[in-house]
Structures are given as C-alpha cells and as structure tokens.
Amino acid sequence: MSRGCDTVSMTFHSESNRKCRQATAVLLFCLAAASCSRGSNVVPVSGIVTFEGEPLVNGFVMFNVVAQDQGRPCRGRIGPGGRFTLSTFQPNDGVMPADYTITVRSWVPGSGPTPYDERAGVMVTSSIPERYMDSTTSGLKQTVGDSALDITVELTEEE
C-alpha cells in the first residue's frame, strides 16, 4: 500500500516541477524580449544647438519620427555650451534608427521657468524664431542609422 502512495506522490511532484519549469521559461523569455525591445535598438545621438553661431543656453531638442511605424520620438535637454544628449526609453540612451524632423524650444533666461509651465500662468519669451518649434516648419531633418552621431543643429533668424 505504501508503494502506491509513493507513486502518486512522485507523479504529483514531477507534474508540479514540470509546470514550474515551464512558467520559469516563459517568464525568462518575456523578460528577454522586453529588454531587447527597449533600448538595444538605440544609437547614441548628442550634439550642440546654435542660434546665429552662438550656443543656446537652455531648452529642449526633440526628434519627431517622419514615419509613425519607424522609430520613436525622443528629446534632450540643452545644457551648458548648447550641448544635448537624446533620450528615448531611459536618460541619455539614444535614438532608434529612422528619419526624423527636429524641433527646438529655447527661452530667454529669466522670462519664466520653462515654456511647458503653462499651469503656473508664466509667460516666457522664446529666444529663437517660432518656426523651429514646429516639425512642419522647422526645416530641420536628421537620419539616424546604426552609428553614433554627434551633430550640430544650426538655427538662424532668416528662413
């Protein structure tokens, strides 16, 4: 009688172990797939933004995808010397290869916290022509391939 119970017990544990191994394998596959889709297909892109030959002192650079089924929008904060590094999924991780239009936002220091702080009711003054804030009028384009880029985005008063 004891042998019959051992057989049933062994079958139960064997079935339980098999299901546990399957669940673990599925979980590992999902984690690997998620990490591949978020960040392994990005290319480092950084650069400098100038207006009339002088580096901007603040603002944001945005890369907007041309074809919605390619790439993802990304942005970078303009820091000292007009330098920026673009981020898509994580800070400074880069850009997915695709064709992009570029928009830039920058404001006169002391005219308000940021152009995005509309809730505070603070008006800000742009330090660049408005056309650079719209992807349909900026005239700025960049193709990102498989290699890292360090670009210069040159803005002018004239169109």
Mean pLDDT confidence for 60-65 = 96
Segment (H or E) for 19:
helix 2-37
Task: Return d(Cα 55, Cα 48) in angstroms, integer.
Answer: 7
The number of domains in the chain is 2
At 115-126, the pLDDT tens digits run 555 555 566 788
**Are residue 51 and residue 127 in the same domain, yes or no?**
yes
Q: Is the pTM of this model over 0.85?
A: no
Helix (H, G, I), strand (E, B) or coil at 119: helix
Mean pLDDT, the chain, whole residue set: 81
Residue 118 is predicted with a pLDDT of 56
CA 149-154-159 angle, to 5 degrees, is 135
**Are residue 49 and residue 103 in the same domain, yes or no?**
yes
Domain span at residue 29? 1-37
**Are residue 97 and residue 130 in the same domain, yes or no?**
yes
**Percent of the chain whose predicted confidence (pLDDT) is above 70:** 66
At 3-39, the pLDDT tens digits run 555 554 445 456 666 665 676 655 555 444 444 444 4
**Are residue 11 and residue 62 in the same domain, yes or no?**
no
**Are residue 65 and residue 90 in the same domain, yes or no?**
yes
**Are residue 25 and residue 49 in the same domain, yes or no?**
no
**Are residue 32 and residue 50 in the same domain, yes or no?**
no
Which residues sit opposite 107 in a β-bridge? Answer: 126
The two three-digit tokens of residue 61, written as one number: 């650079």
